[in-house]
Every structure is written in structure tokens, then in C-alpha cells.
Amino acid sequence: MTAKPFLRALAGETLDRPPFWLMRQAGRYLPEYRALRAEAGSFLDLCYAPDFATEVTLQPLRRYHMDAAILFSDILVIPHGLGQPLSFREGEGPALPPIGSARDLDGLNTEGLLDRLAPVVRTVRQLSKALPPETALIGFAGAPWTVATYMVEGGGSRDFARIKQLMWSDPETFKRLIDLVVEATATYLIAQIDAGAEALQLFDTWAGALPEEDFRQWVIAPTRALVARIHRDRPGVPVIGFPRGAGVLYRDYVIETGVNGVSLDITVPLDWAAKELQPLCTVQGNLDPLLLVAGGEAMDRAIDRILAVLGRGPFIFNLGHGIVPATPPEHVARLAERIKAWRA
């Protein structure tokens, strides 16, 4: 049996045309998602209902036949599984009671984690049976730093003032928090692999918020610990890292974490990535999601340039960040056609 194109690319092969999938490929830009979401109730209800979550994962594949499906869930199920209350306010994003001290951490632990997250793991199992044979299944989690930002800020943040205060004024408590998230995330990702996930992506959306020294300590080191744990306990399962905003530190991130693939944000120069990153691991990216909203010639030109510069090495086409709700579905169809028609 020949391996799935997505997994071959992630193993370092250059294919005739790169495999593709899109971050946040399931979601509000699709009318069929909005319909199912209305039926399920809240966003979290959707994440914890395996039949609904399976269906939502499959929706974009039916339209665009991506080379990989990504489990439908959210990075914040980890804090939720650790016992931190979580809600998603309509139009406002996530809300959690912020962790401000060692005492707030005392109530959180990994004891109930796999029970609480069992429905998500069940979704993975259902998906691995439902996918077409050539389509790979990606499991995911937030990277510890990014997950910790939501836990300490109590939601999204502009300046990360609370987490930086905790990190620099009480490093011991902060380390306890990161270690707890690493432990929970390792357990959760291994459960996803055992349920059928064939590759993993670690989303470090806010990696670019840290000065170099802290980036090494709180982005690279916990990611390295997670990747090592997965490679040791489940050898052969590749991991893609997405240290969004890491700039020139992308290179050290790849070398030091041991990831098998790296997802480029929209700012990473293509020629630099081809020269400095592609010899080290498979690269993935990095069309600006707003170009997918604009469409037209600007989008076509950007797609062609990415393919020309990165398509002749180990490469997976993706966006530089998640699809936005305003994306016209027909622009996604045009993108899919253009990638599928290209030849190295």
C-alpha cells in the first residue's frame, strides 16, 4: 500500500504536486457548518458531540478534497479538561477565570482529563473509520505557551500583560503551570494517536509575543519535551509545529524541538524558508488568509509564488493562519484547483 500523500510529504518526500489542507478548514465560512452549529447549541457542545464534530470535520473535504482532515475541536479543551471552567461568548471568543497565583493552580490536575476529553477522542476514532483511504487524519493541541496565555489572561489578550507579570515575578508558579500543561497535552495527544490520528500539529499562535530568552524557555523547551515524548512513546507519528511570529527563531525552533514539519506564518519570506528551513524539515504554509477573502489575481499570484519557491522540496500547502469567516467558499475551490493542477 502506498502511503497517503500528506504523510509522504511529511516524511520528507517531494511530490508531483504538494498535498494541501487549510488551518480552520471547518468553520463559519461554510453555510453547512453554521447550520450544524445552530443545531448543536454552543461551540463547546459541538466539540463534545462526536457525531456532530465528525460531520463538521468532513464538511470541507466533501467540497474540496483536502489531503488531510483535522480533528474538529479547540485548543482550549486542555484547560477545560484540567478543571478550569470555559465558555465561548458569542462573537467575543473564549472566557476562563484567570489564573493569577499558585493557589489558583491548586484546583487543576490531570486526574479527570481523559474522562472529560473522551468525547473528543471518540471523534478521532469515528473519523479514522470515515475518511477516504487517501486522506490523512491530523490530531492537534495548542502548544503549552499559547494554552497558558488563555489560562492566565482569562481569554484572548492584546499585550499578554498578566502572563508576563506571572512569568517574570513568580517563575516557580509559572513553571508549575507549563509543566502541568505539557503533561496533560502529552496524555491527550497520545490518546488521539491511539484513536487513529496519523500526524499531530501543535498550534503556538502567540509564540511571537516573547523576547528571545523567554521564547527559548517557554516556546522551544516545552515543545521539545512534547515532541520527544511523542517520538519515544509512539515512534513514527510526525509532529508539525506552528510557532507563529517566531521570525528568525523559526530556524532554532526546528533544530531544537525536533519537529518533523513546520508551519510558516504569513511573514516568513519564502526564499529564506526554502534555504534555511526546507533542508531541515518539511515546510507548510503560508498563504495570507485575507488573500483567500480577496481572491482574484492577487490570490492567484501569491499561490503561484508559494508553489514556485517551496513546491520543489518537501512541502504541504496551507495558509499562514486560520481561514476567516468572511472567506467566500468559491475562493477556496479556486485555490484547491490551482494547487491540484500544478506540477513540480
Site for ligand CP3 in 40-59 (CB under 6 A): 43
Single out the residue of 59, 110, 135, 205 in contact with ligand CP3 (rule: CB under 6 A): 205
Q: Is the peptide bond before 286 cis (omega within 30 degrees of 0)?
A: yes
Task: Based on the shown chain and the rule CB under 6 A, indicate whether residue 145 belongs to the binding site for ligand CP3.
Answer: no
Task: Fill in the per-residue mask, 266 to 305: x = in contact with ligand CP3 (CB under 6 A), - = not in contact.
Answer: ----------------------------------------
Characterize 22-46 residue by residue with b for buried, 16 or more Cβ atoms within 10 angstroms of its Cβ, and e for exposed. bbbbbbebbeebeebbeebeeebeb
| Interatomic CA distance for residues 160 and 158, integer angstroms | 6
Cβ 107 vs Cβ 100: under 8 Å:
no
H or E element, residue 202 = strand 199-204
Q: Which is nearer to ligand CP3, 230 or 274 (CB)?
A: 230
Stretch that binds ligand CP3, among 22-30, 176-184, 255-263, 281-289 (CB under 6 A): 22-30
The residues annotated with a catalytic role in the active site are 24, 28, 37, 74, 150
Stretch that binds ligand CP3, among 3-11, 25-33, 252-260, 275-283 (CB under 6 A): 25-33
Amino acid (1-letter code) at residue 304? D
Single out the residue of 12, 41, 93, 132 in contact with ligand CP3 (rule: CB under 6 A): 93
Single out the residue of 23, 113, 184, 197 in contact with ligand CP3 (rule: CB under 6 A): 23
Q: Where are the alpha helices (DSSP H) in 66-218?
A: 77-82, 102-106, 113-116, 118-130, 144-153, 161-169, 171-194, 212-215
236: left (phi over 0), alpha (psi -120 to 50) or beta: left
Q: Which is nearer to ligand CP3, 322 or 329 (CB)?
A: 322
Residue numbers at the binding site for ligand CP3 (CB under 6 A):
23-28, 37, 43, 70, 72, 74-76, 88, 93-94, 140, 156, 203, 205, 322
